[in-house]
Chain A
Amino acid sequence: MALTPPSERIWWRQPIAKIELIWIIVAFTWGLIMFFMMIYWHGAGKQNLSNEAYQIKPQAFAQKAQAMIDEYQVREESGFPVVRPPPGSDVYLIARLWQWWPILEFEKDQSYRLHLSSMDWQHGFSLQPVNINLSVQPGYEMIVTITPDVAGEYGVLCNEFCGIGHHNMVGKIYVVE
């Protein structure tokens, strides 16, 4: 029994039953497939998280974001500036208690370098209903190149708990033809 010492004293010399051996080989092979699938996707897949990130002071990030807003703001909505930066450019999204600032407007099928950083606590960038989810840290600037491929209106929610206003932290991204 599993509650008594092994009945064969030299248990490590006992042969392995065929069925167990087959199962181990199947499971190990499946592990290798899953392992190489991640590597394969870096080459063949279109959805990979960039490793580009820098340490940055919150004020410095806010300044870069403000410069973008000043240059490319097209209108205002519910007190939020709506910014339409040119395709291929660097786009800044500020996470802070409890806002995603500003509202961004992208052109469909164009790529943008999206910079994310937090001014205070940890936040979670959750793009809905696409369901892309990234961590946003204070003191770190993460840069991902995104290519919105469906036009529409998207919500940016916070999915990292950030205090009592966490559930009101909603931002917006427009993708236009």
Chain B
Amino acid sequence: MGKLFDYRTCPTTGLRVDRAAENLIKANAVVAIVFLAIGGLFGLLVALTRWPAVHFLPADWFYLALTAHGFDVLLVWIIFFEMAVLYFASAVVLNSRLAGPKWAWTGFGLMLVGAVTTNVAVLQGGSSVMFTSYVPMMAEPHFYLGVILFAVGALLGCGVFFGTLVVAKREKTYEGSIPLVTFGALTAAIIAVFTIASGAIILIPTLLWSVGLVSHIDPLIYKTIWWAMGHSSQQINVAAHVAVWYAIAAMVFGAKPLSEKISRMAFLMYILFLQLASAHHLLAEPGLSSEWKIFNTSYAMYLAVLGSMIHGLSVPGAIEAAQRSRGLTKGMFEWLRKAPWDNPAFSGMFMSLVFFGFIGGISGVVMGTEQINLIMHNTIYVPGHFHGTVVAGTTLAFMAITYLLVPLIFRRELMMKKIARWQPYVFGFGVAGISIFMMGAGTLGVSRRHWDMTFADAVLPFDYPAAAYLMMTLNGIFAILAAIGGIMFVVVVVGSVFFGKKLAEDEKPSYPEVPPESVAVSHYGSSETLKIPGTIMLVSIFFVAFVLYYFVNWKYLSEVWPLS
């Protein structure tokens, strides 16, 4: 067969890598990391301001920085990186050419212009409306315009992903069904289309309202539809980072899913039920019935939670099965103890898995319980929760796979290996601390998005308990730790991408070690590989923690003023 498109052959995997796809992955990943650095810096400024003894920024700058922080990391960093993941999981994994690279570049351009436009609007000072931009508070028109352009660009990227699936199928670049990682990316892309459509439905009228062409936007309608974008965009992250977990388990261990059927069913549950969770943001609103709230906030009887709990077993289970088949069979945890903890791709991925489940996952379900939400709604418990999901979960997983993309896609040796080795730990524990201490402060009533917890300038005084000050101080300290971890990541990756030793066309990278495909192990159905006692112990601990924490919060709720 002739060369239908410009590709090189990957010396590690033997796959053909479309150069157009490769360049797009590089461009999207680099821009993503730039915005991670910018948004992360804003986040540090926010945390330092909320540290009572430091109280770094003045009020107007604080609200400006918080708006920029939310937009840059929650949307821009993550969606740009997800575009890289989509192109990787389609063209590269499927051994195919990318469909319509020009469309992909157009999408990239729109996203970049949109991201810059909104950032300019925020930095000009007239659009400190927070990431959520709840009406009737109005931002400058170009704030909304930037978000819309960004979303349209992302939609084009999803279209290129779908097109590539069609091309790969038609040109028979693989046999049988698409790989699980691609299936996970497909889940993310489908959720993304729903997300972006919701965003367009509400932000286009809001843009028209901000220029005076629409007279009124109902705040409750806005909130309902906005969260169909706002929460769903976080569900793209969940699907994408679970796909990344499977990808890293495959690349580092040659691990095979315990059951293709179960893992795919779990992804399907995300497509069907995960979106309902936008109701989490509406539990304290007037005018919605309890029936509506209960059905939606529970993702129709927690079926999406079921999906995540399945991945929570099958990802570590696949790793354990692979490790055991290599002879690490002693006791319950030899497979885990002797895992490559000095490989940042693995350590980052495994911490992402644990923190996402224990911190982000449990707190999310508890907070999303209709009545328990009353004692947490809009307190700083909420950012505590989503720093556990989006930062300790998604961002850490994306950082981890970046350590594999640098040698495999950027074709550069990783530099500063010692820093790289420690980076996931510094960042991971920093973020875990941020999440836990914000959640602690939230249970003591500390408000989110709030400049001054001392209420020094308020007419009527109010004092939080001393423990709340301690929590916010610890939050500030751990934010510094996380910021150091973030800087380590940017330095290692940017350094390697621009100054790392170039790999020759047929040269395999020396680090991180990636096993050749032939060691793919743990044949499904063979009884000896499916004994995964360590994983059973891990999920049992998780389950007990989940049940205890859930009922403890009902206990807290039962002690507040009766209301009906």
Contact = CB atoms under 8 A, between A and B. Distances in A.
A12 B261 contact: yes
A4 B520 contact: yes
A75 interface: no
Contacts of A27: 305-306, 309-310
A167 B450 contact: yes
A5 B365 contact: no
B256 interface: yes
B543 A30 contact: yes
Contacts of A35: 294, 298, 301-302
A8 B524 contact: yes
Contact of A53 (B261, B286, B302, B313): B286
B179 A5 contact: yes
A53 B451 CA distance: 31
A133 B375 contact: yes
Contacts of B238: none
A32 interface: yes
Interface residues of B, number: 107
A67 interface: no
Given A3-B93, A47-B557, A148-B561, A121 B447 contact: no
Contact of B286 (A23, A32, A142): A142
Contacts of A5: 174-179
B176 A130 contact: no
B134 to A, nearest CB: 5
Contacts of B129: 161
Nearest to A137: B219
A121 B543 contact: no
A51 B370 CA distance: 12
A35 B294 CA distance: 7
B562 interface: yes
B325 interface: no
Interface in A138-164: 138-142, 144-150, 155, 157-164
Given A155-B462, A157-B462, A50 B177 contact: no
Contacts of A144: 563-564
Nearest to A145: B564
Interface centre among A4, A45, A130, A141 (most CB of B within 10 A): A4
Contact of B563 (A3, A23, A145, A160): A145
A48 interface: yes
Contacts of B176: 5-6, 9
B1 interface: no
A49 interface: yes
Interface in B247-284: 247, 249-251, 254-264, 283-284
A167 B377 contact: no
Interface string A105-132: 0000000000010001110101111111
A172 interface: yes
A143 to B, nearest CB: 8
A42 interface: yes
A133 to B, nearest CB: 4
A24 interface: yes
A34 B445 contact: no
Contact of A124 (B93, B251, B378, B564): B378
B563 A51 contact: no
B445 A162 contact: no
Given A35-B301, A49-B370, A168 B458 contact: yes
B160 interface: no
Top 8 nearest A-B pairs (CB, nearest first) are A31-B302, A142-B286, A155-B462, A53-B286, A2-B246, A159-B447, A46-B562, A133-B377
24 contacts: A2-B263, A5-B177, A15-B525, A23-B539, A24-B306, A24-B310, A26-B543, A27-B305, A45-B557, A78-B460, A103-B460, A116-B286, A124-B377, A128-B464, A131-B375, A133-B284, A133-B376, A135-B377, A137-B220, A141-B286, A146-B563, A148-B561, A159-B449, A170-B455
